[in-house]
């Protein structure tokens, strides 16, 4: 993950949310431990549906989406790549403190394939991509929730993928706000301005009088 914090507190984040064709760390479900792998082309297929994908902070607060241009997603030969430019005070504060931990994504399984035992292996071949999150915590790698749609319920799964490389930061100093004078300073500034105006008027009167005498 690469993070750039600009002077106006806009945060530009880019990196790989998931590397396709790579084994996950050991995961656990009701049947025990398994290894998971997202097959190449799975995210490309999901994105071709043009369903909006939310950008969230820690899976909780929506800070943008693919529909408003804040988040751009694509799959290349490495995996699911994200590029986001966000103007969010909390995210900017976390980024300035270098507290961002990585990416996570939420999906609904549409097609998968299981093989082997001890451990079992799961291959994701078709998913509905629901969200991508920027994290400032390191949660468990696997989590699930139930989402109700009308009379049916879908299992939404979440995965976190921490790259081997550390997060790279580029942080610009924030813009300095215009200083606001205190009441005492404001009164003194007004007095100084009045004195300057009086001097200007006196100078103008002097040169006017001098000019009249010269012409006479």
Q: Where are the domains of the chain?
A: 2-171, 181-216
User: Judging by DSSP bridges, how do beta strands 152-161 and 142-149 pair with one another?
Assistant: antiparallel
- In 3D space, the residue among 155, 34, 130, 154 whose CA is nearest the CA of residue 80 turns out to be 130
- Residue-wise pLDDT for 39-68, tens only, equals 999 999 999 999 999 999 988 899 999 999
Helices and strands, counts by H and E, the chain: 3, 13
CA dihedral over 168, 53, 143, 28, signed as positive or negative? negative
Question: Quick one: pLDDT at residue 172?
Answer: 85
Q: What is the DSSP letter of 196?
A: H
pTM: 0.74
156 vs 41, residue with greater confidence: 41
- In 3D space, the residue among 9, 24, 126, 16 whose CA is nearest the CA of residue 74 turns out to be 16
Phi and psi, residue 196, nearest 5°: -60, -40
Average pLDDT of the segment spanning 83-95: 94
* Residue carrying the six token digits 């880019």: 14
Question: Quick one: pLDDT at residue 177?
Answer: 58
Strand segments, DSSP code E, in the chain are: 2-5, 10-19, 27-29, 32-38, 54-57, 61-65, 71-75, 79-87, 102-115, 120-135, 142-149, 152-161, 168-171
Q: Has residue 149 got a pLDDT over 60?
A: no
């Amino acid at each position: 993950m690469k993070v750039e914090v600009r002077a106006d507190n806009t945060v530009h984040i880019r990196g790989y949310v998931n590397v396709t064709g790579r084994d996950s760390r050991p995961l656990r479900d009701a049947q025990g431990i398994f290894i998971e792998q997202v097959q190449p082309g799975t995210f490309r297929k999901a994105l071709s549906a043009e369903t909006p994908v939310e950008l969230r902070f820690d899976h909780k607060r929506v800070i943008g989406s693919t529909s408003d241009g804040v988040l751009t997603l694509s799959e290349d030969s490495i995996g699911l790549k994200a590029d986001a430019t966000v103007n969010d005070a909390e995210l900017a504060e976390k980024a300035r403190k270098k507290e961002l931990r990585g990416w996570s994504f939420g999906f609904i399984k549409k097609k998968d394939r299981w093989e082997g035992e001890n451990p079992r292996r799961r291959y994701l071949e078709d998913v509905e991509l629901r969200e991508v999150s920027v994290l400032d915590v390191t949660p468990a790698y696997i989590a699930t929730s139930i989402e109700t749609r009308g009379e049916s319920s879908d299992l939404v799964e979440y995965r976190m993928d921490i790259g081997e490389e550390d997060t790279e930061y580029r942080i610009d100093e924030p813009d300095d706000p215009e200083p606001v004078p205190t009441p005492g300073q404001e009164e003194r500034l007004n007095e100084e301005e009045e004195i300057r105006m009086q001097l200007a008027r006196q100078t103008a009167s002097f040169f006017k009088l001098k000019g009249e005498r010269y012409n006479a």
